[in-house]
Structure 1
Amino acid sequence: MQQQKIWGADTARRYDTPGSGMFAPDVLEPAVDRLARLAGDGGALEFAIGTGRVAVPLAGRGVPVTGIELSRPMVEQLRTKADETAIPVVIGDMATAVAPGEYSLVYLVYNTISNLLTQDEQVRCFRNAARHLSPGGRFVIELWVPELRTLPPGRTATVWQSEADYIGLDTYDVLHQHVVSHHFLFDETEEARLFRSPHRYIWPAELDLMARLAGFELESRHADWTGTEFTAESGSHVSVYRLPAPGNLDLP
C-alpha cells in the first residue's frame, strides 16, 4: 500500500469530520493550545499537515505555520480553508523534504510518524526536524502505544473500537513491528466501507533513542495534550523533544 494511494483524492474528500472524531473540540483544542504555547513567538512547521486540522486553528492563534505534505489531494482540501500566503506548504516526504526558514517548533500529530514504515525513515524524520529548528527549538510527537498486551496468544489481530457505525481493528506483524489498521464504516444501508493504512509502531524508549541520534533531549512526556501523567497503562503519549540551546551544549 503506497502512501500516495492511501491518501488520495477520495480519502482527502472524506477526511474532515467537523465537530466529531479527531475534529471534536475536546480533542483538537487542547492540542492547539499546547502547540501555541510551545511555539512561543516563533514559527511552527507541521510534518504531514494534511487538510490543516491543526494548522488552520493554530495559525488563527497568530502562530506562523508552514507545512510539509506528501499528498497533493490533502493540500487541495487545505486550500479550501487557507491559501498559500496564509499557510505555505512544501510537497514532499516529511523525512526528507526541506521547508524554507527556521522554526521554534516542529510537530507531528495523531500517530503520523508511524506512516513511515522503516526505522531508517523514522530516524531521518527526527533529523529532518532538527534541521529545521533553531537552537532550543522543540519537536513534538503525538503517538499511540502499541497494544500488544491485548493480543491473545497465537492471535495477530485486536479490535480497538466497536460502535454501531464503525469497527476498528489492527493486524500485527510483531517480527517487523508493522501493523495494518482496518477501519470499517457502516451507513444506513448496512453496507461497509473499508479504509486500511499500514504503520510501523514505535515504543517510547525506541522513540527516545531516535531523538538522541538526532541531537534531541526528551523534555516532557504526558498521556495527552492536557498534561495527564504518562503511566504504563497510557494508550498514547505526547512527547516533547528539545534541541540544546547554545549555552547548554555538551563539549568534549
Structure 2
Amino acid sequence: MIRYFPLALGLMLCSGAQAQNAPRTWIEPRTGMPFVWIPKGCFQMGTDTAVALPPDAMFRHLPAARDLAADEHPRHEVCVEGFWISKYETRNADWRRIMDPKTGIGAADHPVSGVTWSQARAFAERLGAGPGSKISFRLPTEAEWEYACRGGAAEESVPTGREASDRAWYNKNEDGTAAPRPAGKLAANAFGLHDMLGNVWEWVDDGYVADAYARHDLFDPRAGESAADRVIRGGSHRSEPMHMRCANRGRYPADESLPTLGFRLVRSK
C-alpha cells in the first residue's frame, strides 16, 4: 500500500545534504551483494527543455542531438517510497552463484551482461527463493532508477572531459578499452551507488512507452506493463557522453539480449 507523505518532507529528503549522509547498507547473505537504502522522497523526473549540450560543435551536428530528450518530456513531479537497491550492477560472480556457474561472460567482478529482461527477472526470483527466505527482489521501476541515479541532484547536463571520465565508463575513457570494467571502480554517486551511468545499460521493470511521462501517477509510477520493449537506463561503455545522464531513456525488446546490457536489483521486502 502506498503511504502519503508531505511534499515538503519529500523534497527535504531529496536534498544534496541528505544524500551525502553515510548510506545504510544491507548484505544479501547468499551472494554478498551489498544493497543501499534510498530514502523516500519526491523529485522532478525527466527534462523540461532540450538538454544543454557542450559548446563543442561535434555534439550539435550529431543527429541524436535534435531528439536528445524527446521522450523525457514533460518534466514532472514523482514521489517514491524508500527502497533498497544494489550498490553495484549485478556481477558475473553473483549470477553464477544463483543461476549457473558456467554462465556469465567475463571476469567475476565485471557486470553480468548479455541477459534478457526475463532472465534478469528470473535471477531476482531465484535470489529471493533461498531456504527460509522472507525477502524478495525485483528490477527497479524507471522512477526508482532515475531517483537513485540523481542522488539528490535537481539538474544535470552532458558531462565532458574529466567530469565524464570520473563518473562513468563510456566510449571515450582514457584507456580506450571497449569493454565493461570491474564494478565499483569509479566514484559512487551521492547515494553511495556505483556505475549508475556507463559500464552496461541496466534493465528496469517498466515497459517502454514514449509518452509515459504524460501518464505517470504522482506516487511510485509504473508504465507499459504489457509492452514488448522494456526500458533500459544508464548507458554503457560504448555510449556517447551525451547519453551519460540520469534522465536518458533507452528501449530494447524484452526477449533479446545485448553484450552491453545488464541490470541491478531492488529488495522488495
TM-score band w.r.t. shorter chain: under 0.3
Identify, as 1 or 2, the structure richer in helix: 1
TM-score w.r.t. structure 1 length?
0.28
TM-score w.r.t. structure 2 length?
0.27
Structure with greater contact order relative to length (CA < 8 Å, sep ≥ 6): 2
Identify, as 1 or 2, the structure richer in strand: 1
